[in-house]
Amino acid sequence: MKRLLLVSLGLISVGLYGVAGCLPDNGTTTGTAGTTGSAGTGPGVGGTGPDTGSAGTQGAGGTGTPGDAGTTGTAGTSPAGAAGTTGTGGTTGTAGTTGQAGNPGQAGMAGNGNAGRGGTTGQAGSGGTTGQAGRGGSTAGTTGTGGTTGTGGTTGSAGAAGNVVCDSVKAALDGFQFLLACGVDQSYSVLVCQNTRPACPYNNSEYLVQGTCNGDKKFTIAGTSAQSCTITLHVQGVVEPKHYATGTNRCTTYFGMPQEGFAQGPANGGVTSGCYPTTSGNYNVYMMHVSDNTTTLGTNLTGNRYYFNAINKTEAHFSYKIDYTTPTITIKGGTTIWMLADDSNQSAIKNCDTTSIDQATTAAGGKCNAINFTGLTTAPGPAITQPYNGQFIQFHVASAQ
């Protein structure tokens, strides 16, 4: 704010100057930041003149928060002026951050006429704002909390927490296939084909392994007997029906149920008292034997036997589509799985459905209507061209835990 000094004498205004000989300075000089300045005292000294006025009473110092007080304006002198009125105290300086106090205003000289009005206490200079730290004087921001370390992706469970038995069973059975490709027609029916290879390597020791072994594979399952895996198998295929011995400690069948085609029972007792195919007919056998040792033939056996073409149909010259999921099967570590497809008389029913006509020749009216299996899934096994010329079974491990 600018300061003005007015002195009147009749119609004449005379500006008398103080010791400094100039009008009051603008008291707004910006002080540099520093220690709190004391407010400037501004005693106005009466101006000199022909009629000496009494000196103005001392101007009260501006209160205000610390800041640069403006210098007190110099009182003007005039002839015979009345004593100067008491200088008005400086207005409260605007608070600023700590600034340097302004220099006290110089008192006006006594004079004739009104005493020079005491210089108002200069407005407190706006103290220089505290320099920003770095670029801002504010305290540096607190160090940001480091982001929590990202949790790594959960480790995928490896087959029931690394169940080596399940892994081994899946490696053996998922995608496994029994394939019985037909040879030439038998002379007695256009619905039956010759099936002579590969011959079973067991010297016809018992009914189960006589004739042709279209499937004969053994797997040793990883793990120990204290470990196990419970599985279900999805079974698809085209097969001829076979009857299996039922009764106490023999085979359980599932006729009229969604699992029809499946049969299971204890192996011990073999042909005499175990779960075994009937020996009264020569229709093909499809079997899985799970044993805790390598003994697979005879009557002193361990484990269980499972069959896949136990269809409630007459053993005749027709084939059937199967597509079911087995009940649960538990397999222990260290066991042997024997997968066997046997044709005891080396003659297989062709892929001919029940609308086919069973005659010795086509000239006599014989006709084979093949089953074209739609919805067959073979991967990870090889594709099976449809309609297949013969019989087949495709396995998948539907569940394992």
The model's pLDDT over 7-55, given as tens digits with 9 standing for 90+, comes to 332 332 323 233 333 333 333 333 343 343 343 344 333 333 343 334 3
Task: Enumerate the domain spans of the chain.
Answer: 1-128, 166-400
| Single-letter amino acid, residue 243 | H
Q: What is the pLDDT of residue 161?
A: 52
Written as one string, the DSSP assignment of 227-239 is -EEEEEEEEEEEE
pTM of this structure: 0.62
Over range 301-314, report the average pLDDT: 98
Written as one string, the DSSP assignment of 88-113 is PPPPPPPP-SS-PPPPPPPPPPB-SB
Over range 170-183, report the average pLDDT: 98
Degrees to nearest 5, angle at CA 323 with 319 and 327: 125
Higher pLDDT, 161 or 274: 274
Over range 96-114, report the average pLDDT: 38
> What gap in Å lies between CA 144 and CA 202, rounded to an integer?
78
> In the structure, what pLDDT confidence band is assigned to residue 97 with cuts at 50, 70 and 90?
very low
> What gap in Å lies between CA 117 and CA 115, rounded to an integer?
6
Place of tokens 């006509």: 357
> In the structure, what pLDDT confidence band is assigned to residue 153 with cuts at 50, 70 and 90?
very low
For the chain, what percent of residues have pLDDT higher than 90? 59
**CB distance 286 to 326 below 8 Å:** no
Q: What is the pLDDT of residue 204?
A: 76
Buried b (16+ CB within 10 A) or exposed e, 161-180: eebbbbbbbbebbbbbbbbb
> What gap in Å lies between CA 122 and CA 29, rounded to an integer?
10
